[in-house]
Amino acid sequence: MSGPKPRALLASPTPPAQTAAEELRQTYDWVPVDAAEEVVALGGDGFMLQTLHAMLERRRLLPVFGMNLGTVGFLMNDWRLDGLIQRLERARPFRVAPLAMTATTVEGETCVLPAINEASLLRETRQTAKLEVTINGRIVIPELVCDGILVATPAGSTAYNFSAQGPILPLGSALVALTPISPFRPRRWRGAILPEKSRIDIRVLEAEKRPVSAVADQREIREVAHVHVEIDRMRDLTLLFDPEHALDDRITMEQFIA
């Protein structure tokens, strides 16, 4: 008969998360991340993204069960000290495929970054951005005049994407959202919903006069000339949720919040 899974505990540096972590260390057994099969993360959505990005960098993709000790906690479960082992054994797994954003700067440097929520392009100055949008090798918008544009995953569709009037995408929908930020021309274009296999290319027009930065979640590349975005199916991440408080239900109900 096999024993319990070895689990690691990670916590945000905030006082509430550190206090909760100390309580958990006194109540349950933990191992270092390198020896773990699952991770429990304490904090908010920002700390969850930080934890997932660290896994992508180490190329060791462990399932993560988050407990909210931050502000919003959309990617987290409720914080409770008691019954954690039973919760972990009953937790539902949800696979989240990150985006791979390849940004090429005006100087010709190239950087590849993962994005779990969204990859976005944003104007750097008071000048509006002018962008050419290409899908699967076909130019669909020759000139988009705007503050920026973003590509969001289903997991990230309720974040910046939703604030920019983009659609909420159910988990498992195999879709991504392409959403403009304050579009000026074409004024009526409000974005598109694309199959997750889509290859999205965005070229910055007048890049030196109208500089644009590219952001993958919280990591920024300034003065980009071209950005390529597509789903990275080789590095699926796994989030664990209480059955009664699962991520797909939260995404569905977010559409009914005024």
Cite the active site residues.
Answer: 45
DSSP result, 137-173: TEEEEEEEEESEEEEE-TTTTTTHHHHTTPPP--TTS
**217 marked as part of a ligand binding site:** no
Round to whole Å and give the CA distance between 84 and 81: 7
Question: Both tokens of residue 46?
Answer: 């920002």
**19 marked as part of a ligand binding site:** no
**158 marked as part of a ligand binding site:** yes
**174 marked as part of a ligand binding site:** no
Round to whole Å and give the CA distance between 189 and 16: 43
**118 marked as part of a ligand binding site:** yes
**232 marked as part of a ligand binding site:** no
- Alpha helices in 43-183, H assignment, sequence order: 45-58, 84-90, 160-163
**74 marked as part of a ligand binding site:** no
Which 3 state secondary structure label does DSSP give 109? coil
**2 marked as part of a ligand binding site:** no
**184 marked as part of a ligand binding site:** no
Round to whole Å and give the CA distance between 67 and 77: 5
Question: Both tokens of residue 17?
Answer: 């998360």
**68 marked as part of a ligand binding site:** no
Question: Both tokens of residue 237?
Answer: 């991440």
Instruction: Work out the angle at residue 75's Cα, subtended by the Cα atoms of residues 34 and 246, and round it to the nearest 5 degrees.
Output: 105
Question: Both tokens of residue 36?
Answer: 């773990």
**128 marked as part of a ligand binding site:** no
Task: Show binding-site residues for NAD(+).
Answer: 45-46, 117-118, 147, 155, 158-163
Task: Show binding-site residues.
Answer: 45-46, 117-118, 147, 155, 158-163
